[in-house]
Each structure stands twice: as structure tokens, then as C-alpha cells.
Chains A and B, each alone.
Chain A
């Protein structure tokens, strides 16, 4: 069974701080996706990474896929209250459905 472990589970920071959240597995994934879910809504895709070592930037968010395609990180620079939400990573391998981590719940306090 493939598992994705996300850490930390909860994170509460002040506006303007930087943070990194992690998504780790012992399995290799052909691609990895990051979603953000806000209260009362479904998850929304932020990015997909497919190549080992790949780095993608989305404004203040930087996503990295590990060289071995077993892990990923999300770094947020100068966090804002609008970044508050549940961040989920999800991995795909072969023909199986996506495997989701349990998420990191981020709270950015103004």
C-alpha cells in the first residue's frame, strides 16, 4: 500500500513569515500534485510535478519534487492570511487512483 506522509499536521504562523511543508513516501510516484482546500469547499489543484528534481513556482509558492520522486515540498514566502487552508499532496503511480496525504492545516494570522 502506497502512503504519503505530510508534515507538519498543523502549522500556525504570523503574516509575513516563511514556511515549508513536506510530503514523503517510501514509494516512487510518476507524478505528484498539490491541492489547497478552503473551509466549505473542495480541494483545488495548485500544481503538478512530474520530473525528479523539478521545481515549479506559483507566485509566492515554490514546489519541489524530489530527485527520486518519492517526496515533495511546498515553500511559501511571506505568508498571507489568504494562504490559510488545508494543503494536500497526492501521488500517482501506474494505473491506480491518486493516493492522498492527510494534509497540513495552515493558519496565517494577521
Chain B
């Protein structure tokens, strides 16, 4: 069974802090994704990566960066957290074989910025 593990289920940080959200998958998937999920807005793609050291901007990359130094790990970084980044953050991974492969999600990190 594919397992995508996000480091924290709940996280509370203060405005201006640098925040790291970690995601690890154990199925050797090439593709990894970071989303945020907000009521009424659905899932919005922040960044994604199709290979180690590679990253591409999604629909809402402003205020975020990512790091993919190893295949199994994809980190989301909030450079200077702001209250409008309070949200549920979801990490996902998928294999190659066309980018239509289904995504496997972690259970999410509920981040509150005070």
C-alpha cells in the first residue's frame, strides 16, 4: 500500500515565522505535489515536482517555496508566514506512466498562523 506521510497533523505558528511542512512517500513515485484546501475554494495546486531537484509552480505559488533533494521527500516552505496562509495543506504523490496516474494523498497538515 502506498503511504504518504506528512510530518504534522496540526501546526500553529506565528506571523513572520519560516515554516517547513514535510512530506515523505514510500513507493518510489517520481511525481509529488503540494496543495492547499480551503472551504469553497477546493484544492489549489501550490507547487509540484516530477523529479529530484526539479520543481514547477502551480496555480498559487506566491509566498511559498519547495525543496526536493531526495526522491521520497518533498518539502513546502512558507518563507514568512502570514495569516492568509492558514489552511489545510495536502501532499500527494503519483507514479509515472503518463501524468494521468492517480494521486495518493497524505492526511494533511492543518496549519494555523496567528
Chain A residues in the interface with B (C-beta under 8 A): 30-31, 33, 40-45, 48, 50, 88, 90, 92, 95-98, 100-103
13 A-B pairs (CB sep. < 8 Å)? A41-B108, A42-B4, A42-B92, A43-B43, A43-B105, A44-B105, A88-B43, A92-B99, A92-B100, A95-B99, A97-B48, A97-B58, A98-B99
**Cα distance A98–B45 in the bound complex, in angstroms:** 9
Chain A contact surface mostly: loop
Chain B residues in the interface with A (C-beta under 8 A): 4, 33, 40-43, 45, 48, 58, 90, 92, 99-100, 102-108
| A96 / chain B contacts, CB cutoff of 8 Å | 99
**Cα distance A44–B108 in the bound complex, in angstroms:** 12
Query: Across the interface, do B102 and A48 meet the contact criterion of CB distance under 8 Å?
Result: yes
Min CB distance, B7 to chain A, in Å?
Answer: 14
Of the candidates B90, B103, B104, which one forms a contact with A98 in the assembled complex, judged by CB atoms under 8 Å apart? Answer: B103
| B90 / chain A contacts, CB cutoff of 8 Å | 42-43
Extra pairs beyond A43-B43, A92-B99, A102-B42 (8, CB < 8 Å): A31-B100, A42-B105, A42-B108, A43-B103, A88-B43, A96-B99, A97-B45, A101-B42
